Amino acid sequence: MENIIETWDITKKYDDFTAVDSVNLQVPRNSVYGVLGPNGAGKTTLISMLCTILHPSSGKAQVNGYDVVKNPTEVRKSIGIVFQSRALDDILTGREHLEMHAALYGVPKELRNQRIDDILELIALGKKADEYVKTYSGGMKRRLEIGRGLIHYPKVLFLDEPTLGLDPQTRESIWNYIENLNKNEDITVLMTTHYMEEADKLCDEVAIINSGQIITSDSPRNLKRKLKADTITLTVDDPEKFVENAKNLDFIKDIFVVDSEIKLMVEMGENLVTEVVEFASKIGVQIQSVELEHPNLEDVFIKYTGSRIQGEK
């Protein structure tokens, strides 16, 4: 499949600090591609370079076949951008926002009104089009920002933390909207997120970024399959004693301590919970809670980074 975004060792440095470190991405055309990582991992910096807002310190990147440094105008014509910080004017209506951006992006006058009506229908704001944005809910404002990014028929839509700060119900409606957008508008979506569930639900492929580096990338399904393990999560009265002794158990593939919880990576976990409980009793450690989980993206992240996405190593 053809790649619409490619980077080769793209890097961004600020004096002695490296925000993005030799990142290589291949984003297939018409896919939803996620860059998953904690705050400060380099996600926004990476998108800013791909959008020509920041100049790379080194390396190379192409978007829709255009070099982000040599052909910035062509790149900008090819993309729409929705950053996590709000950028709407409360005293304008939804329609006025779209009219202004259609003019800025050079949408021909004879096509402008029809395009605006199409976008309003797409983002389900037709009935609210002529109301002031200050009356919109958080989800409506987010949909308007996404619609504004689509007004000029871009090939790629960049979404930086698209559901940050939204309530769960609104977040799910935005997820459905992004899925429909990708399927019906022939558009590639590159999104950053630190929500595991969001990446798992929406993305055809996910790249996990931490400290400016891409650690691994694949489809969410394959990333989970690669673990080949269930997770037994424990809280105990003496974590250090349990971990030290559990290292000798041959059925444990890996062991982590995350936020006072012990995570045991095992195969066929449903057959081993009883054995783990009996082992703890044998070494004089009291189990306070035990839970069995099948692999999810958080387990993948912990496997590759040693920490939860919000936590410290």
40-94 confidence digits (pLDDT tens): 899 999 999 999 999 999 999 999 999 999 999 999 999 999 887 778 899 999 9
End-to-end CA distance of the chain: 37
Mean pLDDT of 2-23: 96
For the record, the structure tokens of 219 come out as 């489809």
Considering the chain, tell me which residue range(s) the CATH 3.30.70.100 domain(s) occupy.
230-294
Q: Binning pLDDT at 50, 70 and 90, where does residue 298 land? A: confident
- The model's pLDDT over 170-183, given as tens digits with 9 standing for 90+, comes to 888 889 888 888 88
- Percent of the chain topping pLDDT 70: 98
More confident residue, 57 or 163: 57
pLDDT confidence of residue 228: 76
pLDDT over 90 (residue 38) = no
Considering the chain, tell me which residue range(s) the CATH 3.40.50.300 domain(s) occupy.
3-220
pLDDT confidence of residue 158: 95
CB of 280 closer than 8 Å to CB of 287: yes
* Dihedral of the alpha carbons of 289, 291, 297, 301, in degrees to the nearest 10: 40
Mean pLDDT of 137-148: 90
Mean pLDDT of 3-8: 97
CATH number of this structure's domain 3-220? 3.40.50.300
The CATH class of the 230-294 domain is alpha beta
How far is Cα 213 from Cα 157, in angstroms, rounded to an integer? 22
Instruction: Please provide the average confidence, as pLDDT, over all residues in the chain.
Output: 91
pLDDT confidence of residue 312: 39
Angle between helices 220-227 and 297-305 (to 10 degrees): 60
Q: Binning pLDDT at 50, 70 and 90, where does residue 310 land? A: low
Q: Which residues contact 99 (CB under 8 A, 6 or more apart)?
A: 112, 116
pLDDT confidence of residue 229: 80
Tally Cβ neighbours within 10 Å of residue 313. Answer: 8
pLDDT confidence of residue 153: 86
- The model's pLDDT over 241-290, given as tens digits with 9 standing for 90+, comes to 999 999 889 999 889 898 889 999 898 888 899 999 999 999 999 999 99
Question: DSSP string spanning the chain?
Answer: --EEEEEEEEEEEETTEEEEEEE--EEETT-EEEEE--TTSSHHHHHHHHTTSS--SEEEEEETTEETTT-HHHHHHHEEEE-SS----TTSBHHHHHHHHHHHTT--HHHHHHHHHHHHHHTT-GGGTTSBGGGS-HHHHHHHHHHHHHTT--SEEEEESTTTT--HHHHHHHHHHHHHHHHHTT-EEEEEES-HHHHHHH-SEEEEEETTEEEEEE-HHHHHHHH--EEEEEEES-HHHHHHHHTT-TTEEEEEEETTEEEEEESSGGGTHHHHHHHHHHTT--EEEEEEE---HHHHHHHHHSS-SSS--
Of the listed ranges 15-19, 41-45, 110-114, 121-125, the one predicted with least confidence: 121-125
CB of 21 closer than 8 Å to CB of 213: yes
CB of 291 closer than 8 Å to CB of 277: no
- The model's pLDDT over 184-242, given as tens digits with 9 standing for 90+, comes to 878 999 999 988 889 999 999 999 999 999 999 999 999 988 877 889 999 999 999 99
pTM confidence score: 0.79
For the record, the structure tokens of 32 come out as 């939803």
pLDDT over 70 (residue 313) = no
Bridge partners (DSSP) listed for residue 159: 82, 191
How many C-alpha atoms does 118 have within 13 Å on its Cβ side?
13
